[in-house]
Amino acid sequence: MAEKVLMKGNEAIAEAAIRCGCRHYFGYPITPQTEIAAYMAKRMPKIGGTFLQAESEVAAINMVIGAASAGVRVMTSSSSPGISLKSEGLSYMAGCDLPALVVNVQRGGPGLGGIQPSQSDYFQATRGGGHGDYHMIVLAPASVQEMASLTAKAFDLADKYRMTAMILADGTMGQMMEPVELAEGEVRPIEKPWAASGTQMTRPHNIINSLSLVPEELEKLNFARYEKYQTVIDNETLYEEYMMDDADICVVAFGIAARVSKNAVIAAREAGIRAGMIRPITLWPFPAAPVRAAAAHCRAFLSVELNMGQMIEDVRLASECARPAYLCNRVGGMIPSPELVLAKIKEIYGGVK
Amino acid sequence: MVVFDKPHALTDVPLHYCPGCTHGIIHRLVAEAIDELGIEGRTVGIASVGCSVMTYNYFNCDMIQAAHGRAPAVATGCKRARPENIVFTYQGDGDLAAIGTAETVHAAARGENITVIFVNNAIYGMTGGQMAPTSLPGQVTQTSPYGRDVKTVGYPVKVCEMLKELDGATYLERVAVNNVRNVRNAKKAIKKAFENQVKGLGFSLIEVISTCPTNWGMTPEKALKWAEENMIPYYPLGVYKDKTKEAEA
Amino acid sequence: MTTKLTFRTDSCKGCGLCVAACPKHLLVVARDKINKKGHHPVEMTDQSQCIACAFCATMCPDCIITVEKD
C-alpha cells in the first residue's frame, strides 16, 4: 500500500526523483527552490547517489550533460535567473538529444526580480530558452501530488523520447505542504545503447555531439527531431477539463493560477455564469485540441497567469483567434485571488456580445 | 619488429589540423597512454571547443562534445555517473583559461578524479588567431594587432602556477612538444596523468606548450623554435604539484 | 640491422617536422610530387642509412609513419 505523507512541494520532487531511479543531482542554491538541493544533499549520500553543489548553474547543467551522456537518470533544479544561466546547456542537450530533468521553480523577474512566485518563464520554457530550433517537454504541476507524480512522468518521457523534460513550477508549488502519495521505490533502468558509457571494446564508439558543419546534414537532423516532436505532440499532451461541456466562458490556467481559477469558476457558476476551465498539464505540447474545441461553443477565453501575458498567445494560436482572449494577471510575486478572476469573468460576461 | 606505429585508440579519420600543428602529436600521446594502460574500453573523452572541437572523431573511445569551457563540468558529471570509467578532457587555452576558468578551478578544487589535457599555444586558432589569456606580452594577434599591451589588457594567465595553490589538485605538470626529447617527456607526463586516475588519486592536469604555425605566421619548424625561445621561458616546464604519494597512502 | 619505414603518403601534409627531426637528414619533402590532398609528401632518400630511431614518427602530427627494424 502506498504511503501518504505531508510534504513540501520542493521536497516531493526530490523524493519522487529518487524513487524513480535518479541517483545524480547537480544544483546550486537559489530561492525558492533550495530545499530540493538540501533534500538531495541529505538523501543521496545515504543511498550511494551523487549530490554535488556545483560552482554555478552553468556548471550544474553541464554536469547533468555529462551524466546524461553516460546514460544515467540525472536532474538539476533552479529558479528563473538560474534557468537563464542554463540556457546554453539546454540548447546543447536538445542538440545532443539527451534525456534529463530540469526543474524551474519560478520567481518574479526579469533580472534579479523577486523571490515570490511567478509564471513569467512560460515563453522561456515553451519556446526553448536557449538558441536554435528545439523544444523541451514542459510539465506544470498544480499540487504537491503533481510535483511528485509529474516528476516520475518527466523521467519516463525524457528517456522514451531522448528529450529534456522541464517541470515548470512556481514558488507556491515549491513551498506549500500537502499530502502526497509516493510511488513505492522501484528503480526502472532502461537500456541506453547510444550512451557514452564506455565501449568495453565490444562496439564502435558512441559520440554525444551537437556539432554538424555540413548544412545538408544539420538540416536532416533538425527535421528528424521535429518529426519526433510531432510524435510527442500526438501522444503525450496532457490537460484537465473542468465544467467545460457546456461552458460559455473558457478559463485557461496552469499551476497556482489554475487552483485559484477553479474557485472562481465555481463562484461564477453559482452566479449563473457558465464558466469552465482548461488546465494544461503539459505546457509543451500545449493542449491545442481542447482549446480549439472550446472556441466552438465559448464566447471568450480568459487566460489567468502570473505574468504579463504569455500563455494567452498559445490560447490565441490554438483557437486561431476565433474568439476574443482576455488576460487576468498579477506579477512581481503577487498572486491573483479568486475574487479578481471572478470579477474578470463577470466583466467578460457582461461586455461580450 | 614494429618499433613505432599508430596507436589503436586513434581512429583512421584523417586529422583536419593545419600541417605541422602539434595537436596531432598530443592526440597520439593521449592515445598511446590509453593503449598502454589498456583502458580504451572504459575511457570517455570530453572534446571542447576550439581547433580540437572534432576530437570526438579522432579517438576510438566514447566521446562527448562539450560547450566552450564546460568540459571539466561535463567530465565531472560523466565520472560521478560511472566512477569506474576513465574520463579525460582535451582543451585549448581559450576553453580552459578564459571562458572555462571557473569550471577548471572548481574541478581542481574538488579534486575530481579526472585527467585534463591542456593545449597551450598562446592564441585562438579556430577563429582565426585572436589573443588568448596565455598570449605573451607584446604578442601580435588579430585582436592585439599592435602587440599585447599589458597596461590595457593585463598579463597572461599561468595555469599550473595558479592551480597549484588548490589543495584539491593532485598532479600538475607543464610539458612541451617542440622536440623529440620534450615529446617523450610529455608522453610520460600524460601517461602518469591517466595512471593517477586509474589509481583513484584525484585531479591531474598536463599543460602542453604547443604551436600554431598558421596563426603565428611561420612554418611548422620555425613555430617549434618560437615556442622554445619565447613560450618555454615564460611558462617553465616541470612538475608544479605532485601529491600522488600522499594520495596513494 | 635492416630497417623499414612505411609512409601513409596520402595523409602526409608536407609539414616538414619529420625532415627536421631526422638526425641523419634522410627525409625530404618531395616538391615534385603531390598527394591526393594536394600536399607535397615526405620521401625517404636512403633507407639503408636509417637507424629506426623513430624521431620522425615521434614528431609526425598525422601518424603517417610506421617504423620497423630487425
What Cα–Cα distance (Å) separates residue C2 from each residue in C5, C25, C50, C51? 10, 18, 9, 8
- Tens of pLDDT along B64-100? 999 999 999 999 999 999 999 999 999 999 999 999 9
**Of A236, A269, A290, which closes a domain?**
A236
**Of A206, A236, A266, which closes a domain?**
A236
Contacts of B3 (CB under 8 A, 6+ apart): C52, C54, C67, C68, C69
- C-chain residues within 8 Å CB-CB of B213? 15
Residue B218 is classified by DSSP as S
Quote the pLDDT of residue A1. 55
User: Residue B248 CB: number of other CB atoms within 10 A?
Assistant: 10
**Mean pLDDT of all residues in chain A?**
96
Q: Where are the domains of chain B?
A: 23-248
For residues A112 and A148, membership in a common domain is answered with yes
- State the total domains in chain A: 2
Alpha helices in A271-306 (DSSP H): 288-297
CATH number at residue A73: 3.40.50.970
CATH number at residue A326: 3.40.50.920
Grid cell locating B36: 598502454
Quote the pLDDT of residue A352. 54
- A-chain residues within 8 Å CB-CB of B42? 198, 200
* Cα distance between residue A166 and residue A4, in whole Å: 25
CA distance C31 to chain B (A): 15
For residues A74 and A124, membership in a common domain is answered with yes
Contact criterion met (CB < 8 Å) for B62 and A199: yes
Contact criterion met (CB < 8 Å) for A89 and B70: yes
- State the total domains in chain C: 1
- Tens of pLDDT along A70-120? 999 999 999 999 999 999 999 999 999 999 999 999 999 999 999 999 999
Quote the pLDDT of residue C7. 97
For residues A278 and A303, membership in a common domain is answered with yes
Query: Which of A62, A89, A198 faces B62 most closely, judged by CB atoms?
Result: A198
* Cα distance between residue C21 and residue B184, in whole Å: 13
Contact criterion met (CB < 8 Å) for B73 and A66: yes
CA distance B10 to chain C (A): 9
Residue-number span of the structural domain to which A343 is assigned = 240-351
Quote the pLDDT of residue C27. 98
Query: How much of chain C exceeds pLDDT 90, in percent?
Result: 99
Residue-number span of the structural domain to which C7 is assigned = 3-69
- Tens of pLDDT along A222-248? 999 999 999 999 999 999 999 999 999
What Cα–Cα distance (Å) separates residue C54 from each residue in A90, A253, C66? 47, 72, 9
Please report the beta strands in chain B, taking only residues with DSSP state E, as ranges in sequence order.
2-4, 43-47, 62-65, 86-92, 115-120, 169-176, 203-209, 238-242
For residues A279 and A210, membership in a common domain is answered with no
pTM: 0.95
Q: Which residue of B has its CA nearest to C61?
A: B24
* Cα distance between residue B108 and residue B111, in whole Å: 5
For residues A224 and A311, membership in a common domain is answered with no
Contact criterion met (CB < 8 Å) for A69 and B78: yes
Interface of B with A in 49-78 (CB under 8 A): 53-54, 56-57, 59-67, 70, 73-78
Q: Does A65 touch chain B (CB under 8 A)?
A: yes
- Asked if A265 and A243 touch (Cβ cutoff 8 Å), the reply is yes
Q: Is chain C touching chain A, with at least 3 CB–CB pairs below 8 Å?
A: no
Superfamily of domain B23-248: Thiamin diphosphate (ThDP)-binding fold, Pyr/PP domains (3.40.50.970)
Query: Which of A55, A72, A92 faces B106 most closely, judged by CB atoms?
Result: A55
